[in-house]
Structure 1
Amino acid sequence: MQRDSGSWYADDGTWYYFDIWTSVRMQEQTPQDYEHEVHTPQLYGRYRYCHAFLDRHNDSDPSKICNMFHRNLFDESIKFTPWEHEIPKEFKVDSDSEIFNHIDSMCRAEHNKNVDKSLIVAAFGVFMTNHDSEADEEIGFVPASKSSIEALEKVSDLDSEFECVVCFQEEKKQAKRMPCGHVFHDRCIEEWLEKSHLCPVCRYAMPGDS
């Protein structure tokens, strides 16, 4: 199996995606895990998002949260993978390592010493492409054109419940709207589109950088 471009993995025509990030949240209740399907001319499959709170004062053993993420991401995924492929062992091992390293670094980071709780979010995806011969391009690793990024609509009247799905933070920063209608923090979506021309939510395709 070959790891390709960051957190995408290719294995016998199937693409696997993994990412993990942190968001500082104030509420006590852990957000509900959820899934959403992707169906585009380029690919089809499903994302799964799992959440856990990291309490730096009480969670002294990162392995407990790692094991929880593994169960919620992978142990339930027989029904999650639409074509019933077994998730490659190498992918799960690498993902487990990324989870542990991320949580361990959060516990050790000096700049987090005044942060009591952080929300850890992990995303797992399984996809098939419709054009195997163009898999690298079709999976989305084509930057959006500079002109299309600069043309994104600025948004000033953010909804009170707005949350950027790139950084998973609710700060009312400057935001921009993609042509598909999804809104993100301006720098979050600009940096995303500099790597991939696809919307992080619905995979709407922006003009690519040729």
Structure 2
Amino acid sequence: MSRPPSRRTVLASIATTAAVATGGFESDPSGATAPSLESGTVPADRYDCSDVERPEPDRLDGTDALESLPYPAPPSEANAGEDRSPADGSRSSAVYGVSRYVTEFERAYRRNAFLARYGSLARTVTLHRTAYRTAPIDPSGTEDAVLVAIRYNLTKGTRQSIADQRTEWDVRVVYYLDEHVLLRARYDGVAEELSFDPDPRARGTPVACFD
């Protein structure tokens, strides 16, 4: 049996496919585009696993309690294309896989943050992604990394506000992913455009690390 492909192999596939197929960028289905960024990858020794910060709510008792979500494993060639659809056309399964991974990570992050704040009062948290964009970082270099920006709406409510759910519209977060770390940065405002601002390499928080 052959050895499963490494995370580096998957990231290299993302960078190569996006750079070759789209001339240095990958766009979301709406047609928006963004140039490949060339400011470099994050040094491997900048963060370690003790730097990771992400919501980890306590387990709640009761059958009707809202459950926390586990953070997903990083994408691999084995699962990168499992959620592809005909609408994706020629888009690389690895590129689609990394956008799906980031979306599922953000879904877990926001739900767990809501649970950590409200505990047993939390009733619902629903994230609906409306757009995404990916871009390889220096695809010709020796390190493989990718930026992923997603925009979404988040509906949430507590048991004290059953008839008054609230929705955050057009939230934008940007993730940086390489074979060592996942960084997250959130735009402070309503994201009318989908861009890679703020850049998580400069303004992000480590939310996962990989051995």
TM superposition score normalised by structure 1: 0.30
TM superposition score normalised by structure 2: 0.30
